[in-house]
A and B are shown apart, each in its own frame.
Chain A
Amino acid sequence: MEVDLIFKIAAIGIIVSVLNQVLTRSGRDDQATMTTLAGLIVVLMMMIYEISNLFTTVKSVFGL
């Protein structure tokens, strides 16, 4: 589970940036920013899930 999450985030980042280039080239700048924001939100959701997992682990192990 661990490493493929990293690759998932990297893949989303690369796809969104390529999509962004394509959209800006074809003149639809507003859609480009929309896709970037959407990709960012998806990545941040995955990140938040991992960070909360980290916090619960630390709480349980160190008794915080």
Chain B
Amino acid sequence: MAIIGLCLAATAMAVVLRGLRAEYALALSLTAGGLALVGIILALEPVLSEIADMTMVSGIGPENTAVILKVMGVGFITQLAGESCRDAGESAIASKVELAGRVSILVLALPVFGQVLQIVSGLLRL
């Protein structure tokens, strides 16, 4: 609830500032986005440890859950940065940021692809 209040207050301030001085609106929206994301992630933390325990039981290897968590983190940050760039009117930079996020997610997910290939080839050989 505090996060929603914070975001609404920040939006109101950003609209005022955009009329007076546009560069402050960007700084304010990025700070508000950062604060809200910190609040959300801290609220998400118990859920993540719960998910990690559940995946332990279900036999998915610990490194796979680590990859899942990392990909979520990269996704959060990339989305925040990309949307902030787009808010400031720089959609070209925003698309580059999102491309960088996708590439880093791909790099993170490569070992999982390798495992899938091994499993599939194992099945085919039977």
Residues of A within 8 A of B (CB): 2-3, 5-7, 9-10, 12-14, 16-17, 20, 36, 39-40, 43-44, 46-47, 50-51, 53-55, 57-59, 61-64
Q: How far is the CA of A51 from the CA of B32 in the complex (A)?
A: 10
B residues with a Cβ closer than 8 A to A are 2, 5-6, 9-10, 13, 16-17, 20-21, 23-25, 27-28, 30-32, 34-35, 37-39, 41-42, 44-45, 48, 66, 69-70, 72-74, 76-77
A3, B28: Cβ atoms closer than 8 Å: no
**A14, A44, A61, A63: the one within 8 Å of B41 (CB):** A61
CB distance B70 to A40 under 8 Å?
no
Contacting residues, chain B, for A12 (C-beta < 8 A): 24
Chain B residues contacting A58 (CB-CB under 8 Å) are 37, 41, 73, 76-77
Cross-interface CB contact of B16 among A14, A39, A46, A57, cutoff 8 Å: A14
Nearest chain A CB to B23's CB is how many angstroms away?
6
B18's nearest neighbour on chain A, judged by CB, is A13
Checking B21, B28, B37 against A36 with a beta-carbon cut-off of 8 angstroms, the contacting residue is B21
Query: In terms of DSSP, what is the predominant structure of the interface of chain A?
Result: helix
What are the residues of chain B within 8 A of A53 when measuring CB–CB?
A: 34, 38
Q: Determine how close the nearest CB of chain B comes to the CB of A22; give it in whole angstroms.
A: 13
Do A40 and B13 touch across chains, with their CB atoms under 8 A apart? no
Contact B13 A57 (CB under 8 A): no
Q: Which of A9, A50, A54, A64 contacts B24 (CB 8 A)?
A: A9
